[in-house]
Chains A and B, each alone.
Chain A
Amino acid sequence: NAGVTQTPKFQVLKTGQSMTLQCAQDMNHNSMYWYRQDPGMGLRLIYYSASEGTTDKGEVPNGYNVSRLNKREFSLRLESAAPSQTSVYFCASSSSVGYTFGSGTRLTVV
C-alpha cells in the first residue's frame, strides 16, 4: 500500500544510547517532516525537509539530527537519548492537499 512507512514501531533505549528512526514514502512527495507527540502538547515539528538535499529546524530540534537520504527517505537520529525524548514520533510527507502520516514510533528512554 502506498504511504509513509516508519520503523521501528516500538523502541526502548537507555539514557545515552543512540538510534536512528527510519521513514520512507512512496508517493513521490518533495517535502517530509518529523513530529513528536506528547500528551496535551499536540504535534510538535522537530525537523523538516522541503526537498531532497535540504533540511530545516522546526519547533523542537534540540537533541536530534536528520538526514534526507534521497527523495524517498528521511531519517531522524538521536545521538544521546534522554528521558525527555520519550515520546511518539511521526514522520509525514506532504502533497498539495495535506500531509500523509506514518503510523508512528513509540520510543521510551529509561
Chain B
Amino acid sequence: GQQLNQSPQSMFIQEGEDVSMNCTSSSIFNTWLWYKQDPGEGPVLLIALYKAGELTSNGRLTAQFGITRKDSFLNISASIPSDVGIYFCAGRNYGGSQGNLIFGKGTKLSVKP
C-alpha cells in the first residue's frame, strides 16, 4: 500500500532555532496535511494544502505542497518550548481505500529551553 517517509524521526533544537521536516511518497496525493500531537492528546490539524506548489503559513509555521505532488515540508520558525510534540504529515487521495488519509510515522520535536 501507499507509504509516507517522514524525516527526521526526532530532533532536538535550541529555543529560537528554525525547524524543518518533510515527507515523501512514491505516490501522488491530492491533499497534504500536517498535524501536531501534544503529549497525552490526539493529533490536531495545523495546515492543509490542496494544490501542487501551494505555500501556506499559520503563524510561525509554513508548509508547502511539492510540485511533483509526492512531497511536502513543514518549517517552524523561531521555535519555543510549546512547539514540543510529535508532528505528523498525512496525504490524501479522494476515491482511495483505507479511508483515504495516509500518515507518516511522525517527527518528535524536543526543544531545549
> What residue of chain B has the Cβ atom nearest to residue A40's Cβ?
B105
Contact B88 A43 (CB under 8 A): yes
Q: Which of B40, B90, B97, B104 contacts A98 (CB 8 A)?
A: B90
Enumerate chain A residues within 8 angstroms of B97, measured Cβ to Cβ: 56
Contact A59 B48 (CB under 8 A): no
Hey, which bits of chain B sit against chain A, CB under 8 A? 1, 6, 9, 31, 33, 35, 40-45, 48, 88, 90, 92, 97-101, 103-106
Enumerate chain B residues within 8 angstroms of A99, measured Cβ to Cβ: 43, 45, 90, 101
Enumerate chain A residues within 8 angstroms of B33, measured Cβ to Cβ: 98
Contact A41 B42 (CB under 8 A): no
Hey, which bits of chain A sit against chain B, CB under 8 A? 4, 31, 33, 40-43, 45, 48, 50, 56, 58-59, 90, 92, 94, 97-104
Contact A98 B42 (CB under 8 A): no
Bound together, the chains give a CA A20 to CA B39 distance in angstroms of 24
> What residue of chain B has the Cβ atom nearest to residue A50's Cβ?
B99
Bound together, the chains give a CA A100 to CA B41 distance in angstroms of 12
19 A–B contact pairs at CB < 8 A? A31-B99, A40-B105, A41-B105, A42-B104, A42-B106, A43-B88, A48-B98, A90-B42, A90-B43, A92-B42, A98-B45, A98-B90, A98-B92, A99-B45, A99-B90, A100-B45, A102-B42, A103-B41, A104-B40
Distance to closest chain A CB from B44 (angstroms): 7
Contact A48 B99 (CB under 8 A): yes
Contact A103 B99 (CB under 8 A): no
Enumerate chain A residues within 8 angstroms of B43, measured Cβ to Cβ: 43, 90, 99, 101
Enumerate chain A residues within 8 angstroms of B9, measured Cβ to Cβ: 40
